[in-house]
Amino acid sequence: MALDLSPSEEQQQLIDAFAALYDKESSTERVRAAEPLGHDPDLWRRLRENGAVEMAVDEAAGGWGATVLDLALVAEQHGRHLGSAPMLEAQVAARTLARVGTPEATGLLEGAMDGGRLVTLALHPPRAGLLRMVPAGAVADAILFVDGGRLLVLEPGLGRIRVANLGSLPVSDVPVEGSRPVAEGPVVRDALEGALDEWLVLMAAAMVGPGARALEIGVGYAKDRHAFGVPIGSFQAVAHGLADAATALDGAQLLEREAAWSATEEPGRFRELAALAFGFCTDAARQASYRSLHYHGGYGFMLEHDIQLFWRRAKGWPAQYAEPDVAFGRAEACRLGMSGEEG
């Protein structure tokens, strides 16, 4: 055991398998077709068929027992192809149910794994009786959320309000009426914090995708497009901006992979690293997609150019939790041994 930054053979197979799936089922045409809702039922069906939910659950709970690192490698592909499917939330919700382990939770988990029900989770507690901007809330069959120390579940009916949003995500506002308890006691707080850690690191991994792909598109454009007789990539104003973005993205990928790895291999650092990775990867993806878009000149501003798809999601996807500074604060609270009041 020593430093090894390459995916193992198994990990590479996993990456390749999902890359192939997304190549086929999540082209930018498909991504556009799924807008504005941001949910592509065919992609989601294919992901489920390939075990996207089952893999996330421990073997003891009937799943395939993938590590968080495995899930992060898949999330990278998900982000790279802007997958219009609530995979991250479904995975984290399923893992949370397995961890809670009450009869209600187990029942919900069975539905999620075998029954094909889409269970998601709210990242923030309700305010004034309303869960706001629930990830996948517009398409979920059930929403897990925490209120007053209890874990509850809600089957959002006609009352949910779909929210059009910058990231083309199937979020919605959902009134909490009609919710029922799933668990209570200290396990709830642990489960929620653990779920948030996992969602943060998977979103961090997902952000490396649009960042890297936006950079590739930008580099390609900078090589092809000419101004004053030379490729625009030969101007330092363009080249240096892309070099900075590439550096940040390389760092971002190392950090989210380390964070995901630590979930099982160095669990004492997981919470800190997950939050650091979320903040850093979000910034890196935004920087890369903004620069790439800007260097496209007026073309980047056209809806028909793909680059805007990446730019909008780099802002919108991670914002379901909060801005990077909130995550950096969460990480620092861990480092200083404070309780996660910022979570």
Partner 1 sequence: MDFRLGEAAEDVRRQARQFLEQHLTDEVKEKMHTTGVHHDWDFHRALSERGWVAPGWPVELGGQGYSVVEGLVMQEEFHQAGAPTYGVGTTMIVAGIIRRLGTPAQKELVIPRALRGEIIIVLGFTEPECGSVVVAAQTRAVRDGDEWVINGSKMFTTNAQEGDYAFMLTRTDPDAPKHKGLTTFLVPLRQPGVEIRPIRTLSGERTNLTFYTDVRVEDGLRIGEVDGGWDVMAVGLSLERAGAQGGESSRMLAALERWACTTPEGGSAPPASDPRVRARLGRAAAENEVSTLLARRSGWVQDSGALPGVEGSMAKLFASEAITRQSADLLDMLGPDGMRSEGDPTALAGGAAEYAYRFALGTTTYGGTSEVQRNIIAQRGLGLPRPR
Min. distance of Cβ 228 from a second copy in angstroms?
A: 12
Interhelix angle 186-224/270-295, rounded to 10 degrees, is: 30
Q: Which pair of tokens denotes residue 96?
A: 């949370």
Min. distance of Cβ 325 from a second copy in angstroms?
A: 13
| CA distance readout (Å), 250 to 55, 247, 253 | 27, 5, 5
179 near partner 1 (CB under 8 A): no
230 near a second copy (CB under 8 A): no
CA pair distance 236, 298, nearest whole angstrom: 20
Q: What is the CA radius of gyration of the chain?
A: 20
Residues numbered 231 to 260 that lie near a second copy (CB under 8 A) are: 235-237, 240
339 is in the binding site of which of partner 1, a second copy, none (Cβ under 5 to 8 A by kind)?
Answer: none
Min. distance of Cβ 270 from partner 1 in angstroms?
A: 12
State the DSSP H helix or E strand holding residue 221, giving kind and residue range, or none if neither.
helix 186-224
User: Is the Cβ–Cβ distance between 90 and 109 less than 8 Å?
Assistant: no
Segment contacting partner 1 by CB under 8 A, of 44-52, 104-112, 194-202, 246-254: 246-254
33 is in the binding site of which of partner 1, a second copy, none (Cβ under 5 to 8 A by kind)?
Answer: none
Segment contacting a second copy by CB under 8 A, of 47-55, 102-110, 216-224, 230-238: 230-238
Beta carbons within 8 Å of 165's beta carbon, 6+ residues apart: 133, 171, 316
109 near partner 1 (CB under 8 A): no
When binding is defined by CB under 8 A, the residue of 17, 19, 37, 161 that contacts partner 1 is 161
3 near a second copy (CB under 8 A): no
Q: Which pair of tokens denotes residue 187?
A: 């396990």
Interaction site with a second copy (CB under 8 A): 235-237, 240
